[in-house]
Structure 1
Amino acid sequence: MHQYTRGFGHPRLVAALAKLYSKLLGRELNPQTEVLTTLGAYEALYSSITGHVDTGDEVIIIEPFFDCYEPMVRYAGGVPRFIPLRPKNNGPVQSSADWILDKYELESVFNSKTKALILNTPNNPLGKVFTYNELSYIADLCKKWNVLCISDEVYEWIVYEPNKHIRIATLPDMWERTITIGSAGKTFSVTGWKLGWAYGPANLMVNLQMIHQNSVYTGNTPIQEATAIAFEKEIARLGSEECYFISISKELQPKRDFMAKFLLESGMKPVVPEGGYFMIADWTPLESQVDLNSEQDKYKDYRFTKWMTKKVGLQGIPPSAFYGSEHKKLGENLVRYCFIKEDKNLQEAANILQKWKSGKS
């Protein structure tokens, strides 16, 4: 286990991945040609994009998006085309389900230059879990325009009831045009292992293999062996309450609900996620209590998060980072927090906000 393993994926791990996804997709995956392990989902995205996007190709990116999509597309010579999810209500508490694509706006960005669409479900940072109807509409456009779908599904197991994660590769005639990306870091809460994978039809995967072969060549052998063992254990109890793939969401749901509660009590307007372990919230009801002029950043959410970190002691992420330049204003009123934390740390965050609200911080 201390020597190089197979370049396209440790044999025991690709066998386990093929076995798992064959069950989930209802089709038999070839572990040798239809599965590739990578250095994190990051490299799976890089190999997918670089392996398929040529100079001048347009790539549709749904906003808010994981922030590496845009630079990877540009690095490959592609042209990002951004399409935002927009909230359909503005109540004190929203669900990520309230953020939807405008169908006509989406249709308008497809054209003869469109090479790929990048889908992220459950979405980071929003936590939106795309419904079957939403995925069907996206799939129909991909088929109409002969477009590749790169589906980033790293949060596939963190989905809160009654929502269901639907893999777009299972929709009619989508297997042939979909590359799906997963992550051991997100699946087993071991992000430091930096192990990801991609699966799809062999004729699409060969382009990823080419990039992988000539950039990183192979992955970490003992980490791949350990992940294979973890998958073998969980596959054996797939569907039972004891399966980690089921228990992780049940463990995180109370944390999610607690965060939504204390953000609302602080005066923010949380967007309760259907999946993932991030929550965005509208912080602008508190703007009068914040000295935005003390920071020099262009966008308000950067100034807010820096001020909060320095003066209040609570750290968040500015969501305008998850938008293209033309739509960054859509993220300026928001902040992203993470709730995959020990309960005592979430309680401390609640205490910090309560003290700040009462003027004692």
Structure 2
Amino acid sequence: IEGCGPVLSSADWVLSPEELASKFSPRTKAIVINTPNNPLGKVYKRKELQMIAELCIKHDVICISDEVYEWLTYDGTKHVKIASLPGMWERTVTIGSAGKTFSATGWKVGWAMGSEHILKHLKTVHQNSVYHCATAAQEAVAVGFQREYDVFGTEESYFHQLPIHLHEKRLRLADCLKSVGLKPILPQGGYFMIADISNLNVDLTDPSTKDEPYDYRFVKWLIKEKGLATIPVSAFYSPEHRNEFQKYIRFCFVKEDSTLQAAEDILRQWSDGKLKKF
């Protein structure tokens, strides 16, 4: 980010092969992965996915791969489907979303891809839970895919245009966060950005939130006092790991420029006025 010095990247966060391997046992039936990741924005490298694949094959485990941000990657980062690795197609369910692929989040249309011997059970679950999605929305998504098929690989492709459009918003938000004393983690994919707030000192003495995690208290304070909405990152973690991630909050940069400008104005006014740093 020009003029801002070094910024951490989501690529700096890596899986521990030893720790992950220790979690597999004869009772392990499935693993859920998410790449590009929410909230971090990490895009798993082929080498990392290969390590996961080898564990799945060794322990005969199903892989449920959430890849809803597959078309949103930046700076030349390549998304790799774990189902494309040797031995993984027959044991992987790949999840996609029209909400992310076509920026139509309200439609709630998604899909699952995999081999028939797995999907037949998934279809049974789907049939007996939500039954089906709205036909009109499914038809619209199908039309979107047909258009993308016809223009794929060209500048007319939405899959090509969207990451270029969001790339600038991503850099703009990171630049702003760093300039006001926050520590952004530049995402390789997706449209969220987490920031380290550990070097900020704010008054979080509201008695109504005193028993909540620090990031929950911070985001509530930020909404109430500054009018800016973010998400507490510890909400994404299991109870045994939640305490380690209370100093991060998540921003969203898939916003209109006017909304990003309003957020910048709030942050810069806070920084120029009352922001205190350790």
TM-score past 0.5 threshold: yes
2:203 pairs with 264, 270, 291, which one? 291
TM (norm. structure 1) is: 0.73
1:99 to 5, 9, 13: 13
**Structure 2 residue 256 is matched with structure 1 residue 348:** no
5+ residue gaps in structure 2?
A: none
Equivalence map 1:183-202=2 (5 Å): 183-202=97-116
Structure 1 residue 345: Cα displacement: 1.1
CA drift of 1:351 comes to 1.1
Choose from 119, 134, 141 the match for 2:33.
119
Deviation at 1:359, TM superposition (A): 1.4
Compute the displacement of 1:92 (Å).
Answer: 6.2
In 2, Cα distance between equivalents of 1:297 and 1:354: 30
Q: Say yes or no: does 1:231 pair with 2:145.
A: yes
CA RMSD in angstroms, aligned pairs only: 1.3
In the alignment, which residue of structure 1 is the partner of 2:124? 210
2:273 match: 359
**Letter of the aligned partner of 1:234 in structure 2?**
E
Take 2:274 and 2:49, find their aligned partners in 1: how far apart are those partners? 47
In 1, Cα distance between equivalents of 2:52 and 2:89: 14
1:108 corresponds to: 22
> Within 5 Å, which residues of 2 pair with 1:324-343?
324-343=238-257
How far does residue 205 in structure 1 lie from its aligned partner after superposition?
0.3
Residue 48 of structure 1 corresponds to which residue in structure 2? none
Aligned pair count? 269
Q: How far did residue 297 of structure 1 move?
A: 4.0
Query: Where does structure 1 differ by over 3 angstroms across 4 or more consecutive aligned residues?
Result: none
Is it true that 1:138 corresponds to 2:45 in the alignment?
no
**CA–CA separation in structure 2 for the residues paired with 1:338 and 1:152:** 19
Query: Given the two structures, how large is their TM-score scaled by the length of structure 2?
Result: 0.94
**Cα distance in 1, alignment partners of residues 109 and 211 from structure 2:** 34
1:236 aligned partner, one-letter code:
D
**Alpha-carbon distance in 1 for matches of 2:163, 2:143:** 21
The correspondence of residues 302-341 of structure 1 with structure 2, limited to 5 A, is: 302-341=216-255
What percent of counterpart residues are identical? 54
Aligned-residue offset at 1:131: 0.3
Q: Is the 8 A contact 1:270 1:282 kept in 2?
A: yes
Shift of 1:314: 1.1
